[in-house]
Amino acid sequence: MINYLIGIDIGTESSRTILFDENGKVVSLSSSSYSTYYQQKKYVEQNPNDWWESVFYNLKEILDNCQVEKEDIIGLGVCGQMHAVVPIWK
């Protein structure tokens, strides 16, 4: 059995997701972009739901493109360009 790791980067223009095997070999990768909104001068916004949808799309794509069982994924790393507070509520 081979173990796998997933890396997710939520960047300023797109999110990128990569699947590695335990030896560091790239098995699958995906990237998808999202919009930035300039509502008025000196204001820049992004919708956090766009980040979520982008990451979800990338995860689905990398898993659909390979023969890896979800149970063999042993780790997940996430980094992002979070320069502001993003309130989350349920």
pLDDT at 12: 87
CA distances from 12 to 22, 24, 37 (A): 29, 26, 12
The string of pLDDT tens digits covering residues 28-50 is: 999 999 999 998 998 888 888 99
Name the residue ranges covered by the structural domains of the chain: 4-80
Domain covering 4-80 in this structure, CATH number: 3.30.420.40
The string of pLDDT tens digits covering residues 4-31 is: 999 999 998 999 999 999 999 999 999 9
- Summarize the confidence of residues 48-63 as an average pLDDT: 94
- Indicate if the pLDDT at residue 81 is higher than 80: no
Tell me the pTM: 0.84
Task: Decide the pairing of beta strands 14-21 and 26-33.
Answer: antiparallel
